[in-house]
């Protein structure tokens, strides 16, 4: 009888340990996947911020004070600057840069255009993406009075989750 | 599994540190521009905008006689950011650093 009780106790302890190990392994796998996905998301965000900072932070520079944002629509914002001081915003060089959202064939991409070069910096899958200009009160506004540029990504479909927004400053407008 | 988890966690920690440094430098540069004039001491200026800012140099640049730029160069950890602001009045570049 005593042996049976001991055996049952041993099986119970072994079962509990097995359950703990299994739970720990499952948690570990979830944390592993989360670390990988959050890390990848942060890298993408930082890359996009860095590339767009090059455009937005320099916009409006130049002795003739060119418009910082030359055009703005729901899918494109175009920044301008006169970096060599010749009085002209060159549309074929990095004096003209743009943030573009393009949707086609069920996929959305966020692109940065530097002069005549365009690169996709974010493949947003089936998310809905848009661009807007915000005034000093956070209201949507036109190119001439935008102080912030907002990129919004709204997840749809199976992975629908929280809406992501990224804001980019237009420094030349900060002190006006 | 554990090796992969450790590698991913380390990679994520490095990315978070990089992101923190980039944001720190970005906003320090904006803070430098907001100061509005050139500053003599980059280290002392850095303390004005945040404890994590390593240095913040704010100085005048005059690309041409009619073009005056206030430039802020900030460094936080490994990250740096440079931000320019074209001044409305080109004579602003004549003001001595504070």
pLDDT digits 0-9 by tens, B63-76: 888 889 999 999 99
Query: Where is average pLDDT lowest: A13-17, A106-110, A149-153, B6-10?
Result: B6-10
pLDDT-wise least confident of A37-46, A119-128, B32-41: A37-46
- Structural domain total, chain B: 1
**Cβ of A27 under 8 Å from any chain B Cβ?**
no
ipTM of the prediction: 0.72
Q: What is the pLDDT of residue A41?
A: 80
What is the pTM (predicted TM-score) of this model? 0.77
Contact A63 B83 (CB under 8 A): no
Cα separation, A66 vs A69, whole angstroms: 9
Q: Measure the CA–CA gap between A142 and A11, rounded to whole angstroms.
A: 72
Pairwise CA distance, residues B36 & B29, whole Å: 12
**Is residue A77 predicted with pLDDT exceeding 90?**
yes
Chain centroid to Cα A158, Å, comes to 20
Residue with tokens 């749809």: A156
Instruction: Give yes or no for residue A50 having a pLDDT over 90.
Output: no
The percentage of chain B sitting over the pLDDT mark of 70, rounded to a whole number, equals: 99
Per the listing, tokens 């743009």 go with A98
Domain that holds residue B26: 2-94
Query: Are B53 and B74 spatial neighbours (Cβ–Cβ below 8 Å)?
Result: yes
Measure A6 CA to nearest chain B CA, in Å. Answer: 34
Of B36, B64, B84, the CB nearest to A61: B84
Highest mean pLDDT among A47-61, A68-82, A152-166, B80-94: A68-82
């Amino acid at each position: 009888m005593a042996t049976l009780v001991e055996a049952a106790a041993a099986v119970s302890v072994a079962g509990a340990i097995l359950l703990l190990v299994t739970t720990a392994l499952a948690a570990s796998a979830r944390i592993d996947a989360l670390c990988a996905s959050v890390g990848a998301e942060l890298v993408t965000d930082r890359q996009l911020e860095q590339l767009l900072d090059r455009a937005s932070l320099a916009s409006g520079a130049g002795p003739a004070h060119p418009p910082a944002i030359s055009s703005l629509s729901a899918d494109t914002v175009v920044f301008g600057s006169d970096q060599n001081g010749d009085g002209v915003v060159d549309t074929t060089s990095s004096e003209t840069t743009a943030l573009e959202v393009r949707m086609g064939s069920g996929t959305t991409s966020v692109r940065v255009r530097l002069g005549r070069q365009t690169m996709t910096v974010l493949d947003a899958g089936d998310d809905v993406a848009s661009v807007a200009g915000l005034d000093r009160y956070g209201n949507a506004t036109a190119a001439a009075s935008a102080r912030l540029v907002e990129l919004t990504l709204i997840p749809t479909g199976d992975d629908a989750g929280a809406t992501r927004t990224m804001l980019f400053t237009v420094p030349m407008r900060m002190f006006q | 599994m554990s090796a992969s988890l450790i590698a991913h966690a380390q990679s994520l920690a490095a990315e978070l540190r990089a992101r923190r440094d980039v944001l720190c430098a970005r906003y320090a540069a904006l803070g430098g521009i907001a100061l509005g004039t050139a500053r003599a001491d980059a280290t002392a200026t850095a303390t004005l905008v945040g404890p994590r800012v390593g240095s913040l140099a704010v100085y005048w640049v005059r690309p041409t006689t009619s073009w005056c730029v206030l430039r802020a160069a900030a460094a936080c950890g490994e990250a740096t950011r440079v931000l320019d602001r074209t001044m409305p009045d080109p004579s602003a570049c004549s003001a001595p650093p504070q």
